[in-house]
Amino acid sequence: MPDPLLPALRNPSDREALRFPDRAPSQHTPSQRALSQRELAALAGTLAGRLSGARRVAVWATPSAETCVAVVAALLAGVPAVPLNPRTGERELTHVVSDSAPDRVLAAPDADLPEALGGTERADVLLTGTGTPPELPEPGDETPALIVYTSGTTGPPKGVVLPRRALRSNLDALAAAWEWTDEDVVVHALPLFHVHGLVLGVLGPLRRGGAVHHVGRFSTEAVVAELAGDATMMFGVPTTYHRLAADVEASPELARAVAGARLLVSGSAALPASVHERIARATGQRVVERYGMSETLMNAGVRASGDRRPGTVGPPLDGVDLRLTDDAGEVITASDGETVGEVEVRGPNLFLEYLNRPDATAAAFRDGWFRTGDVAVREPDGYLRIVGRRATDLIKSGGYKIGAGEIENALLEHAGVAEVAVTGEPDPDLGERVVAWVVPAGSAPDPAELADHVARLLAPHKRPRVVRFLDALPRNEMGKVLKRSLGT
């Protein structure tokens, strides 16, 4: 029999597993809803029995205990779950539903489902009930567990089919890297339709036998209240850490609570070095970064006991092979912190396929290695530094390959820059010129001053040739800047 994906739920105790804010608190109801391992196993097990024979199920993935029960039920039943973003637009949702063709949609009883799901049988997820759930066999390692849809920045979203093997191996590798045990309680406010919030932030604690406290919408006060209590680890994205930095700088009381965390983890986008340093100065805590994507889960991560160096995502995780390649596909052996190459990955963390897209699946691999489309440099000690996406962040200017990420970090060290994104645009002389899109911190700084600032910190050929000022950068729900929207 395969190793159980969620062993604590096979032999559950009365320890807390999940805690979410109550959606309708009043005088007569608690402000939070918690489920023990025993309660979660019973509710999910009963629902899993109702899913028998289903080919796929969709989950209306609100930040709620019902979403967690639904996903766990699908995993217990061995039925692939398709998490749906409740804020997805009508056209994109229609595509996802048509492409994945779920037999049922699982949702909280009070969820108002859109018209795109009108033709799909609904199953309400209840948090009450009695009875003994059926004994269900553990599915095999290659059984699809989740189908997570990509953001669709280069066309219609693709369904990434993740097997149980990928979830199991990757969560165990992260546990080794972060010294993660059943004594840890993870706090976060991440959406549950994405691998960061769902796989790492929910299934990770459940696999360890610990707990997750989801605070709903992010606020420093809510997160700090958990860290001052049972929570030991926080998962977040750069946007949340940017807000956290400002709040702990302003409040010694908040800073003391954050200082007590065992681990702060950031992902989904690069965390600016300036934010790292602000949090470190205020709390003594250095944030740990990791690097992953839907197709691979996590590839690299800074160890809990390692050098928590800003701007890097650490070495590859246990069991993950990682290499850099040049434009011709040749392997780059240099570890000089300067030579840029595309990140390619292989290991048990990889997805099975893009659903219904054998052409896209084949194009994504080279000799068994998954081509991430991300570009990076390798430091002398093996740490990886991501410099961006090949399609939007690798700028070829004057014969140089320039990563947008390092320029962005340099610009964020200037007092006049609050936020920034760097792109390339055609230039008749250089091939491409570096363009900085800046949200100023107060009055707009002199563009020449910003260019000189970058040239002094990095190199003259990396300075922005054009600076454009904005009130805000376009971002998605995970805080990633939508660079393709800039200039359009």
Structure tokens belonging to residue 372: 């991430």
pLDDT at 27: 46
The number of distinct structural domains making up the chain is 2
Radius of gyration of the chain from its Cα atoms, rounded to whole angstroms: 23
pLDDT digits (tens, 9 = 90+) for 261-293: 999 999 887 888 888 999 999 999 999 999 999
CATH code, domain carrying 195: 3.40.50.12780
Is residue 390 included in any domain, yes or no? no
Domain that holds residue 47: 7-384
Q: Are residues 104 and 188 in the same domain?
A: yes
DSSP, residue by residue, 413-439? TSTTEEEEEEEEEEETTTEEEEEEEEE
Which H or E run includes 405? helix 404-412
DSSP strands (E only) in 154-287? 159-163, 185-188, 211-214, 233-236, 263-266
Number of H helices, E strands in the chain: 15, 26
Q: Are residues 333 and 402 in the same domain?
A: no
Is residue 447 included in any domain, yes or no? yes
Q: Are residues 372 and 425 in the same domain?
A: no
Confidence band for 28, pLDDT divided at 50, 70 and 90: very low
pLDDT at 399: 64
Is residue 281 included in any domain, yes or no? yes
Final residue belonging to a domain, choices 354, 384, 414: 384
Those residues with Cβ within 8 angstroms of residue 300's Cβ, 6 or more apart along the chain or in another chain: 290, 291, 292, 313, 314, 315, 316, 317, 320, 322, 384
Please choose, from the candidates 343, 288, 342, 296, the residue with its C-alpha nearest in 3D space to the C-alpha of residue 319.
296
Final residue belonging to a domain, choices 384, 413, 429: 384
Q: Are residues 111 and 252 in the same domain?
A: yes
Q: Are residues 286 and 244 in the same domain?
A: yes
pLDDT digits (tens, 9 = 90+) for 304-342: 999 999 989 999 999 999 999 998 999 999 999 989 899
Structure tokens belonging to residue 469: 């000022």
Final residue belonging to a domain, choices 384, 418, 447: 384
CA 221, CA 109: separation in Å to the nearest integer?
Answer: 29
b/e per residue, 323-362, with b = 16+ CB within 10 A? Answer: bbbeeeeeebeeeeeeebbbbbbbbbbbbbbbbeeeeebe
Q: Are residues 351 and 419 in the same domain?
A: no
Is residue 2 included in any domain, yes or no? no
pLDDT digits (tens, 9 = 90+) for 29-55: 446 789 999 999 999 999 999 998 899
pLDDT digits (tens, 9 = 90+) for 396-444: 786 667 777 778 888 988 999 998 988 888 877 777 889 999 999 999 9
Is residue 313 included in any domain, yes or no? yes
Q: Are residues 326 and 440 in the same domain?
A: no
Please choose, from the candidates 140, 146, 151, the residue with its C-alpha nearest in 3D space to the C-alpha of residue 161.
146
Q: Are residues 427 and 351 in the same domain?
A: no
CA 387, CA 401: separation in Å to the nearest integer?
Answer: 11
Q: Are residues 415 and 377 in the same domain?
A: no
Q: Are residues 29 and 81 in the same domain?
A: yes
Is residue 389 included in any domain, yes or no? no
CATH code, domain carrying 435: 3.30.300.30
Q: Are residues 468 and 328 in the same domain?
A: no
Q: pTM for the complete prediction?
A: 0.84
Highest mean pLDDT among 53-62, 87-96, 479-488: 53-62
Is residue 318 included in any domain, yes or no? yes
Please choose, from the candidates 134, 126, 20, 122, the residue with its C-alpha nearest in 3D space to the C-alpha of residue 76.
134
Is residue 309 included in any domain, yes or no? yes
Identify the sign of the CA torsion 335, 338, 341, 344.
positive
Structure tokens belonging to residue 112: 């108002």
Overall average pLDDT of the 437-459 stretch? 90
Q: Are residues 365 and 404 in the same domain?
A: no
- Does residue 391 surpass a pLDDT of 90? no
